[in-house]
Amino acid sequence: MVGIVDYNAGNIKSVERALESLKVQYVLSKNPGDFTGCDRLIFPGVGDAKYAMEQLQITGLGSFLRDWAQSRKPLFGICLGSQIIFDYSEEGDTKCLGLVKGTIRHFENVWEKPELKVPHMGWNNVRFTNGGSELFHSVKDNSDFYFVHSYLIQPDDKTVIKGVCDYGTEVPSTIQSGNIYACQFHPEKSAGAGLQILKNYCTAQILQNGEIKC
């Protein structure tokens, strides 16, 4: 069973529709206790990092997600959810969940490309790196995915980056650190390739170390 974490900052409806189209059973909740029967979680998100972390603290979902990750169960962050799994975000000077070592930086603090608009919005092709990820099973290298973001994932350990795109600089787009998976793009809005990623995550075998195997 798949759990979708609702913390008042998620792109919930699009994720629900995507899973329903895949005929994946799921539980949507703001209550950590409702995820007892789940073996993997989806952690979506749009909006502001500071507000999101406040909501996670109010609901108790922050400590729940830390415990979940530590117990070696699969966790999949999407967009904002892919960012606040790291230690710190420049957005609102925000301390985040600290599940993966690294920081989230605004485009303007990483590159100087005044001719390019921020946010990075629209379709962009993602190329696999560092061996790719099980998330990409049956997905072609350089497939297009839909992005909307102004902040960049900057992991301390660059080997956790499994997919990148180019937007004035190399943009980390897919992350895997053990049992923790994340996409900066929106797979639920990325047509067939995005649905395949969600299908891979939701239906794959879960190994003892919490990683998935398609």
Contact 151, 90 (CB under 8 A): yes
Active-site annotation holder among 38, 134, 165, 186: 186
Helix axes 61-70, 49-59, angle to 10 degrees: 90
Active-site annotation holder among 96, 165, 183, 188: 188
The three state secondary structure string of 124-136 is: EEEEECCCCCHHH
Active-site annotation holder among 79, 96, 165, 202: 79
| Total count of residues recorded for the chain | 214
Distances (CA, A) of 16 to 63, 111, 115, 130, 193: 24, 35, 36, 30, 17
The reply to whether 188 belongs to the active site is yes
The reply to whether 186 belongs to the active site is yes
Q: Hey, how many other C-beta atoms are within 10 angstroms of the C-beta on 154?
A: 18
Of 75, 76, 1, the closest CA to residue 38 belongs to 1
Report the relative pairing of strands 94-95 and 102-106 from DSSP bridges.
unpaired
Widest distance between CA atoms in the chain: 49
Question: Which residues are catalytically annotated?
Answer: 79, 186, 188
